[in-house]
Structure 1
Amino acid sequence: MPDKPDPTDAIPPPTRFPRPAVGRFSLYYRELYRLLDQGQSHINSKQLGSIVNVSPAVVRRDLSNLGTIGRRGVGYQIDQLIDQIGGVLGSGQQWQVVLVGVGSLGDALLRYRGFERLGFRLVAAFDLDNQKVNQTIGGVSILNAETMVGKLAELSPDLAIIAVPAEVALDVANELVAAGISGILNFAPTTLRLPPGIAVVNVDLASELQRLAFSVQNL
């Protein structure tokens, strides 16, 4: 029996997609998984666009760039779309992730159950609070941040999440980069600027709330 074709084989390199499209792919991916869990097998561009608040034309253009064309009267096969979009987003492989900072936000991130499904496995967390060290939250062991450099060499993670105060975020990021981590999700309220070749996504929750307030005022 011939091997089943890999649905990601025909996917162009992610660099072909502009940042806004990648952001939409992430939304599609999340909502498609939710629909699949509800037992839905197909969806059309109008339905998917309505869910993520974009036009059907944008959905069709995005998905056609994956080599996917919906069938008239049927739409798109949801499990196939999940495989294809997951390939673009890197969710087709397992990413090893560490978390630095187990305050309120870090604690919530450790308890979030959605990472594994998307291909992200939290392998360790680090903190300086002795009352937290050696505890386990969400199945993840909390280690002493003073031992982080040695543990990173042992664990060889791919990505890191930073949830520490702004004043120490850059020092933590530099330690992570020195350990070979090439992607950082930064929740500290400061913008990290790191050497070329290091991918950084800065998430400032307060700024996002400001954007939301602005949008509400201008409805």
Structure 2
Amino acid sequence: MKSEHIPKATIGRLAVYIQVLENLLRDGVEVISSEKLARACSVNSSQIRKDLAYFGEFGVRGVGYYVQELISSIKESLGIDRAWNCALIGVGNLGTALLKHQDFARRGFHVKAAFDCDPDKIGKEITGMEIVCPTHLKERAPELGLEIGIITTPPDRAQRAANHLVEANIRGIINFAPARIQVPPHIPVEYVDFFDHLYSLAFQVSLGDNN
């Protein structure tokens, strides 16, 4: 069961749970108690139970959680038990790094097309993928089954990239560019701004300096 009323913080913690559980599975752990899982995820056990309760009943009383089963259940709940085809716009340093990041495909997110408006980049290949002008995104999207857009352009080009994605009927966008974009309300947008985290960290460190 999915609900739009599930807090974003819960979704974020579920992603952490998956990461921790996958590491446990690689270490040969098949069953884990809620207390041990909570410590590994840096939360309390009641928080884990509350987060999982949004999607159903998990775990066995007196036993704990079966790791593989819990991974599969969380992935199904989040909608990541299937492959998602992605388009990336902006093949600069960050875009290139993301294209080379092998964890994308391993986690079910397959970057099927790379776009850039720089004439010096168009036609070149990166990780075996030809860089194409974004004006061709609309025609490429249906044939490649593109559903998610990844924006890694400079800030002044982010809106134009978003417009191309909207015209191509992309269903959701993750924006790494340090700029806000305008899209129709039915298209969810997630922003990834490293400076948000740096500002937050600097504030926390400065609090320690003042104590």
- The reply to whether TM is greater than 0.5 is yes
**Quick one: which amino acid aligns to residue 183 of structure 1?**
G
Deviation at 1:47, TM superposition (A): 2.1
Provide the rounded CA distance (Å) in 2 between the counterparts of 1:16 and 1:40. Answer: 33
Contact 1:192 1:202 in 2 (8 A): no
Instruction: Tell me the equivalent position of 2:149.
Output: 160
Provide the rounded CA distance (Å) in 2 between the counterparts of 1:68 and 1:137. Answer: 44
Indicate whether 1:94 and 2:83 are aligned. yes
Indicate whether 1:112 and 2:101 are aligned. yes
Instruction: Tell me the equivalent position of 1:145.
Output: 134
**Quick one: which amino acid aligns to residue 151 of structure 1?**
R
Quickly say closer, same or farther: Cα 1:189–1:67, change in 2 above 3 A: same
Provide the rounded CA distance (Å) in 2 between the counterparts of 1:65 and 1:109. Answer: 32
1:30-87 deviation line (CA, Å, top 9, x unaligned): 2211221222112222222222221111012222333233334431011111111101
1:143-199 deviation line (CA, Å, top 9, x unaligned): 233433332344341011000011111111011111101200000101223211011
Instruction: Tell me the equivalent position of 1:169.
Output: 158
Q: TM-score, normalised by structure 2?
A: 0.89
Within the candidate set 51, 68, 71, 1:79 is matched to: 68
RMSD: 2.0
Quickly say closer, same or farther: Cα 1:197–1:33, change in 2 above 3 A: same
Q: TM-score, normalised by structure 1?
A: 0.86
**Quick one: which amino acid aligns to residue 84 of structure 1?**
S
Instruction: Tell me the equivalent position of 1:25.
Output: 14
Gaps of 5+ in 2: none
Instruction: Tell me the equivalent position of 2:207.
Output: 218
Quickly say closer, same or farther: Cα 1:71–1:156, change in 2 above 3 A: closer
Instruction: Tell me the equivalent position of 2:45.
Output: 56
Instruction: Tell me the equivalent position of 1:47.
Output: 36
